[in-house]
Amino acid sequence: MTSTPESSVRDRIVAALATDETLLIEMRRDLHAHPELSHREEATTRWIDQHLRDLGLSSTRLAVGTGLVCDLPIGAPVADSRIVALRADIDALAMQDEKDVGYRSQVDGVAHACGHDVHTAAVLGAARALVAVAADAGVVGTVRLVFEPAEESVPGGAVDVLAEGHLDGVAGIFGLHCDPKIDVGHVGTRVGALTSAADLVELTVRGPGGHTARPERTVDLVALLGSLVTETQGVIDTLTERPGDLRLVFGAVHSGDAANVIPSHGLVRGSLRTPDYEVWLRTPDIFRAAVDRVLGGSDATWEISHRRGVPPVVNDAGMTAVLEAAVRDGLGADGVVDTDQSWGGDSFAWYLERIPGSYARLGVHDPASSGPRLDLHASTFNVDERAIRCGATVLALTALGALATASE
């Protein structure tokens, strides 16, 4: 049976977050207006640290320079008391914010278009609520707040959090990610694989170059790059057990400048994604074999740069049950909705390779809106800000529920 906080504690958490809702929205908008790229989140890290200090908490900055962790004691924990973690990612994307709102990004070419500002505000909101009930919450232990930098980079800031030992001794970890496909007031959960593995690839192709009047005398490099983009996926499908097990999508193609010159070099960049962990382990060999088949016999030379990304996020059944109980307790009996495994990747996967936990999808769509459900990374992506209080409520109740399982 999954434990949930006593009704009086739950009511106090809900009341505290209702009082704080305007503040949490202001915090999210402040973050949204001042986004920072991966590994550059200096101001964001200082901003989070100050909010934690205002709560009487002390944080530790990661050795990489950005991101931090903070322990929040519940009751009077002793050396062997249970520790559970709540995670937020804090970096933004290299893209324009094209929304017409007062809190639009003030940093050219950088935007919180993936909801990390919401994640951070929700964890800080959970911290505020937990501080309010910590002395008499009915459970004992520590909630470790993890503010992860560089999630949008490869392999992600989770690797640094783990390398520095911040999850050593932690019994479970939880997190939420914005999902515009889900209405506000609901959370999408799934036991097992939630996301997919994701790698980055870059392929540099070279030839002698030449005149566009005589492509037969050289390597027609642009045509060859076109073949790579259009044919490689089909070859990959023949090298895996099931077509579609490994998805290649190119996001960048660069070559040449003059209309009458066949260039001597070019490159393509893309992502390789798979929902299957075993296929992910074989991805470098599969990709290289596919490229060799497409380019073989062309007289071109090529180099492959394959950056390993992240494995799939695989949710633990027991930890997911704790999170689902918190959703129902905090948002209502219909708050939990099913969600499918996605092709997106997330560095939260590294935590779940080390310890059990659960990652869920926070509904951020306004059901009254007649507009489109803009996808993550859209230039005008935005959220129904009621989701911040919902997320904070779920995370606070999840942390207490996870601590309570230690006494069962």
Query: What integer best gives the mean pLDDT of the chain?
Result: 96
CB 219 within 8 A of CB 266: no
The residue range of the domain holding 229 is 197-310
Q: Are 166 and 80 in contact (CB under 8 A)?
A: no
Closest C-alpha to 316, from 157, 404, 194 = 194
Q: Concatenate the DSSP letters of all residues of 271-334 into one string.
A: EEEES-HHHHHHHHHHHHHHHHHHHTTSS-EEEEEEEEEE---EE-HHHHHHHHHHHHHHH-TT
pLDDT per residue over 201-259, tens digit each? 999 999 999 999 999 999 999 999 999 999 999 999 999 999 999 999 999 999 999 99
Last residue of a domain, one of 249, 279, 310: 310
Average pLDDT over residues 290-309: 95
In a domain, 297, yes or no: yes
Rounded to an integer, the average pLDDT of 29-54 is 98
In angstroms, the Cα distances linking 17 to 21, 124, 133, 390 are 6, 11, 12, 9
pLDDT surpasses 60 at 1: no
Strands 192-193 and 172-183, by their bridges, are unpaired
Confidence class of residue 113 from pLDDT cuts 50, 70 and 90? Answer: very high
Same domain, yes or no, for 328 and 294? no
What angle is formed at CA 383 by the lines to CA 22 and CA 119, rounded to 5 degrees? 70
For residue 253, the surrounding DSSP H or E stretch is strand 247-255
Q: What is the mean pLDDT of residues 387-400?
A: 98
CATH number, domain containing residue 304: 3.30.70.360
Predicted local confidence at residue 5, as pLDDT: 76
Are 278 and 360 in the same domain? Answer: no
Same domain, 183 and 124: yes
In a domain, 2, yes or no: no
96 lies in the same domain as 202: no
Mean pLDDT of 281-307: 96
Domain assignment present for residue 107? The answer is: yes
> In one letter, which amino acid is 57?
L
Domain's final residue, options 282, 310, 338: 310
Tell me what pLDDT residue 374 has: 83
pLDDT at site 351:
98
3-state helix, strand, coil in the chain (%, to 5): 35, 25, 40
- Please provide the DSSP assignment of 149-212 as one string: S-TTSSS-THHHHHHTTTTTT--EEEEEEEEEEEETT-EEE-SEE-S-EEEEEEEEEE---EET
pLDDT at 405: 86
Nearest to 210 by CA among 256, 255, 258, 263: 263
Residue 371 is predicted with a pLDDT of 78
Residue 304 sits in the same domain as residue 356: no
**What pLDDT does residue 373 have?**
81
pLDDT category of residue 368 using cuts at 50, 70 and 90: very high
Q: Supply the pLDDT for residue 102.
A: 97
Asked if 215 and 297 sit in the same domain, the reply is: yes
pLDDT for the residue 3? 67
Using 50, 70 and 90 to split pLDDT, how confident is the model at 407? low
Determine contact, residues 2/359, Cβ cutoff 8 Å. Answer: no
> What does the pLDDT average to over 94-99?
96
**Alpha-carbon torsion angle 192, 186, 150, 267, nearest 10:** 70
pLDDT (average), residues 278-304: 96
- 7 confidence band (pLDDT: 50, 70, 90): confident
Residues 201 and 157 placed together within one structural domain of the fold: no
**Same-domain check for residues 122 and 260:** no
Residues 235, 367 share a domain: no
Tell me what percent of the residues of the chain surpass a pLDDT of 90. 94
Is 342's pLDDT higher than 80? yes
Do residues 228 and 304 make contact, with C-beta atoms less than 8 angstroms apart?
A: no
pLDDT of 306 above 80: yes
Establish if 1 belongs to a structural domain. Answer: no
**Could you tell me if residue 367 is inside a domain?**
yes
Asked whether residue 85 is assigned to any structural domain, the reply reads yes
* Domain identity same for 54 and 156: yes
Based on the fold, state whether residues 324 and 349 are members of the same structural domain: yes
Q: Is the dihedral of CA 112, 115, 119, 124 positive or negative?
A: positive
Model confidence at 408, in pLDDT bands (50, 70, 90)?
low
Q: What is the pLDDT of residues 135-186, one digit of tens each?
A: 999 999 999 999 999 999 989 999 999 999 999 999 999 999 999 999 999 9
* Average pLDDT of the segment spanning 314-318: 97
**Which of 385, 405, 404, 398 shows the shortest CA–CA distance to 145?**
398
Token duo for residue 62: 């990661």
The CA distance from 17 to 291, in Å, is 53
* The total number of structural domains that make up the chain: 2
Helices (H), 76-137: 116-133
User: Domain of 78: which CATH number?
Assistant: 3.40.630.10
Question: pLDDT at position 64, please?
Answer: 96
Final residue in a domain of this structure, among 310, 344, 364: 310
Res 2: pLDDT:
67
Q: Are residues 214 and 147 in the same domain?
A: no
Q: What value does the mean pLDDT take over residues 306-331?
A: 97
Cα–Cα distance, 216 to 208 (Å, whole number): 12
